[in-house]
Chains A and B, each alone.
Chain A
């Protein structure tokens, strides 16, 4: 255990299409909701972490005078890294109460800063000239290799989206709730072979925020604490072409194994799993790199409904980036779902969810952060 707990957690009031709010206000809306959840105001916050916007801008906008600041920005899992850094900062006395925010006008593009790749960067020189057009044509690049090496079929890849839609059908805030079949997925528009539309994440607007403090203060807050049992982080490469192994994420392995060791838990103790799913192959890589499945077996594991409602390892229970929402930096929503499951307040609540593991990805297999949450401090 880390001695630190989540005492406030919330998403933006709305999710989906929010053209009437700027990206900065999405951060603020989520932050205000999280402060209300914790019974705090900006005056109680002395640590701030964010990505997508600068922590300076956000602290000023919200009226926070921090003694600790973290602007780590490694893509969609930045918030996992913020949680990890906040745990260390709180434990060492650099601050007492940390606010972590995310907001992204991913769909409406209101007040959004872009992510240009400079022509002189390594990716700008050795990837961009060959015509990749964003994540659907880059994050997906390793998958044919995985399919050939491990015999995964197109149907199995499609099943990832089908199972996650099952979860989304139980979630009134999910963008897509209507159940789908493998055929529906395979008949959806081809985006970048072998990926169909329904195997790619949504593009939506939204935000979320977390508030962390020392677990021994948790009794002072209205919500039951969600203990942070262990954390891990790593980075690999800014270029998908340069992954060590096209069938595995080194950052997943490093971050995941560190977090589990840090938490002192075994795989059998994990009741609930979140694996950042920007595309349908990510849960397959995540299950294997975390060690829940042997290499080459995760697609069968999902096909056999082990991660579906009623299965032995409920995964991506909000519907995931494929069906719930995906603003661009989805990691915050995965963390929010882990917190809801441990609190017992999730729309598709898993019975006896005492330990939840949340694995994030950043860039395109560029970075990873992993957080293990628990109902008890352990």
Chain B
């Protein structure tokens, strides 16, 4: 359980489903039913073709480490230096997150390392999607569309 000192997201009508999803430990993405583009962050239309015909689906939770910094300045929600990371989801979108179950060092945090989603309760209403080094090699994982 995280300390209660992170800034918390305040869901809007357009993002409510995403945060309900993380509460249920699902990482929900949106996909355009016209052009099949998958996108993030949530909005009720496709940023690629402007169609309002979109659907919500559960992502695999698998990602790779795209980039990061290790912040050295103290933050009340973290113990010591911590990585702010960008991860590329298997489905295409990129998101900001933190990497857990891993030393916060350049040696441990290798770009392109496989990751899998974790959900961390940070308030009564909010679980944040965080990522940990993948336990199983990506090729051997079950097909996409499932969540843990």
Contacts and interface: CB of A to CB of B under 8 A. Distances in A.
A346 interface: no
Interface of A: 118-120, 122, 124-133, 136-138, 140-145, 148, 189-195, 239-242, 246
Interface in B1-47: 6-12, 15, 19, 40-41
Q: How large is the interface on B (under 10, 10 to 19, 20 to 34, 35 or more residues)?
A: 35 or more
A246 B122 CA distance: 29
Nearest to A146: B67
Interface in B55-103: 66-73, 75, 77-78, 81-82, 84-86, 94-98
A242 B94 contact: yes
26 contacts: A118-B10, A120-B10, A124-B7, A124-B10, A125-B12, A125-B19, A129-B9, A129-B128, A130-B85, A130-B97, A131-B77, A132-B84, A137-B69, A140-B69, A141-B96, A143-B69, A144-B69, A191-B72, A191-B73, A192-B69, A192-B73, A192-B84, A193-B70, A193-B72, A242-B41, A242-B94
B111 A144 contact: yes
Contacts of A129: 6-9, 122, 126, 128
Contacts of A122: 41
A217 B94 CA distance: 51
A140 B66 CA distance: 13
Nearest to B130: A130
Contact of A119 (B8, B81, B84): B8
Contacts of A120: 9-12
Given A131-B77, A131-B84, A195 B128 contact: no
B117 to A, nearest CB: 13
B106 interface: yes
Contact of A246 (B82, B85, B86): B86
Contacts of B128: 129-130
B10 A137 contact: no
Contacts of B70: 192-193
B12 A145 contact: no
Given A145-B67, A246-B66, 9 more contacts: A118-B10, A119-B8, A119-B9, A125-B10, A125-B19, A131-B84, A141-B96, A190-B72, A240-B86
Nearest to B73: A133
Q: Which 3 pairs across A and B sit closest by C-beta, in order of nearness? A: A125-B9, A193-B70, A119-B10
A130 B98 contact: yes
Contacts of B15: 125
Nearest to B126: A129
A131 B78 CA distance: 8
A145 B111 CA distance: 7
Contacts of B8: 119, 129
A241 B96 contact: yes
A241 B111 contact: no
A66 B68 CA distance: 46
B7 A119 contact: yes
B69 A195 contact: yes
A128 B7 contact: yes
B9 A141 contact: no
Contacts of A128: 7, 9
B82 A141 contact: no
A122 B61 CA distance: 21
Contacts of B111: 144-145, 148
B9 A193 contact: no
Contact of A131 (B6, B94, B106): B6
